[in-house]
Amino acid sequence: MPLMCSLQTILVGDSGVGKTSLLVQFDQGKFIPGSFSATVGIGFTVMLLGDSGVGKTCFLLQFKDGAFLSGTFIATVGIDFRNKVVAVDGVKVKLQIWDTAGQERFRSVTHAYYRDAQALLLLYDITSKMSFDNIRAWLTEIHEYAQKDVVIMLLGNKADVSSERAVRTEDGASLAREYGVPFMETSAKTGMNVELAFLAIAKELKQRAVQPLDEPHFQIHDYIESQKKKSSCCAFS
């Protein structure tokens, strides 16, 4: 097994000295002139989990860049991350999203990160019965390694390839009910429900962090049910 290590570096300094620009230059190799906006003070860590090939990396890139990576499948090695700021009820919320390798051989590396995640998006592939059957094992691992109050969402990805469907929508919904977690089908290819998944997570975490006790609690299940697009209603290739 290749030797891997993860290093975390924190950029500190006064507002406006160029911390974000330095990071963008390092990450994307470019400088964005005149784009100063103060980095938001509220941020959460979200982790993507699920078998290798279910579409975690594509799901993240669709959310981050609005693009779909088709063609050659390159499995993630260990763990990778991306940041994205979303607006939740007028407040900027920064999501740091960890994309984990689904391959078994990286499991000990990814376990180390579970405890730092405030939300977990657990994906299976609707064209792969095995990826769905493995969800129970993923949930067992989550209960072993993650924080007790972590927000979990179950996602049936690749809903655009309905001709090869191997897992019924009802079966996904029923498993989610059994574990008391919200559920929806998504497509990293078309973008269906991708933004909604992250937005619902951001809303739930933000309300937990800042909402006064006397205000009504945000209901993530109700929010998703009212917003999600059903795969059956859309024409897919």
Residue 83: closest CA among 155, 11, 183, 174:
11
Q: Quick check: 158 binds ligand GTP (CB under 6 A)? A: yes
Kindly calculate the radius of gyration of the chain based on its CA atoms and give it in whole angstroms: 18
Query: How far is the C-alpha of 53 from the C-alpha of 128, rounded, in Å?
Result: 10
What token pair was written down for 103?
């391959």
The stretch among 8-16, 66-74, 84-92, 141-149 that binds ligand GTP (CB under 6 A) is 66-74
Q: How far is the CB of 123 from ligand GTP (least distance, A)?
A: 7
103 binding ligand GTP? (CB under 6 A): yes
CB of residue 48 to ligand GTP, shortest distance in Å: 8
For residue 128, what is the DSSP state?
-
State the nearest-atom distance from the C-beta of 101 to ligand GTP, in Å: 5
Segment contacting ligand GTP (CB under 6 A): 2-10, 25-33, 100-108, 171-179? 100-108
Q: In a 10 Å sphere around its CB, with 0-12 CB exposed, 13-18 middle and 19+ buried, how is residue 201 labelled?
A: buried
CA dist 228 to 161, 194, 221, 223, Å? 18, 10, 11, 8
Query: Interface with ligand GTP by CB under 6 A: which range of 4-12, 25-33, 48-56, 135-143?
Result: 48-56
Q: Is 56 in the site for ligand GTP (CB under 6 A)?
A: yes
Stretch of 11-19, 135-143, 154-162, 210-218 contacting ligand GTP, by CB under 6 A: 154-162
Nearer to ligand GTP, 54 or 146 (CB): 54
Q: For residue 14, which phi and psi values (nearest 5 degrees)? A: -60, 155
Would the CA dihedral through 175, 140, 63, 52 be positive or negative?
Answer: negative
| Partners of 88 in beta bridges | 91
For ligand GTP, the closer of residues 58 and 95 by Cβ is 58
Q: Which of 46, 47, 54, 153 binds ligand GTP (CB under 6 A)?
A: 54
Residues that bind ligand GTP (CB under 6 A): 52-58, 69-70, 73, 75-76, 101-103, 157-158, 160-161, 187-189
